[in-house]
């Protein structure tokens, strides 16, 4: 599996730990990889600094997963678009669908539980739920327009 390294160079996921994600690389990183975890952080954030070694270790133990880091100071527009209100925030994407988002510095055992849960998701069920929610939102919006 090829993934983009910072600066746009390709590398094999097995040889990389974490990768810096920017507005320019986020979409392609999520669409080109089966599982992507994102750590939203800032240099001034104490809990972010505490979580960083845990996240780095998990990335080394799970080379088949892309572990991205988004600097919320450098990528303020991206953080706003993702509705990041607290850092660190961990997000997980599987097959392009966000399947997990939670603020707070997770301990290593909790991070491993999240990773295992994301790996073991039945994506047919996830896609069916996404379609159901989209249909319900559409029906609700149509109902609002009729009133």
Judge whether 101 counts as a catalytic residue: no
48 included as an active-site residue: yes
Residue 54 and residue 109: Cα distance in Å, rounded?
Answer: 9
Catalytic residue among 45, 70, 79, 115: 45
Query: Which residues have C-beta within 8 Å of that of residue 112, sequence separation ≥ 6?
Result: 58
Residue 147 and residue 143: Cα distance in Å, rounded?
7
Question: DSSP string spanning 73-124?
Answer: TTTHHHHHHTT--SSSEEEEEETTEEEEEEES---HHHHHHHHHHHHT--HH
Measured from the Cβ of residue 63, the count of other Cβ atoms closer than 10 Å reads 15
Of 30, 36, 38, 48, which one is the catalytic site residue?
48
Task: Point out the residues that are catalytic.
Answer: 45, 48
């Amino acid at each position: 599996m090829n993934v983009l390294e910072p600066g746009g160079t390709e590398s094999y996921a097995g040889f990389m730990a974490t990768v810096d994600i920017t507005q320019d690389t986020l979409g392609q990183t999520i669409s080109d990889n089966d599982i992507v975890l994102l750590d939203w952080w800032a240099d001034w954030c104490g809990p972010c600094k505490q979580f960083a070694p845990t996240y780095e270790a998990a990335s080394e133990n799970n080379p088949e997963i892309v572990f991205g880091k988004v600097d919320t100071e450098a990528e303020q527009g991206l953080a706003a678009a993702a509705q990041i209100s607290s850092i660190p925030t961990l997000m997980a994407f599987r097959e392009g669908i966000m399947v997990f988002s939670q603020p707070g510095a997770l301990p290593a055992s909790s991070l491993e539980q999240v990773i295992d849960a994301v790996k073991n998701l039945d994506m047919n069920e996830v896609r069916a739920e996404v379609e159901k929610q989209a249909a319900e939102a559409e029906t609700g919006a149509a109902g609002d327009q009729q009133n």
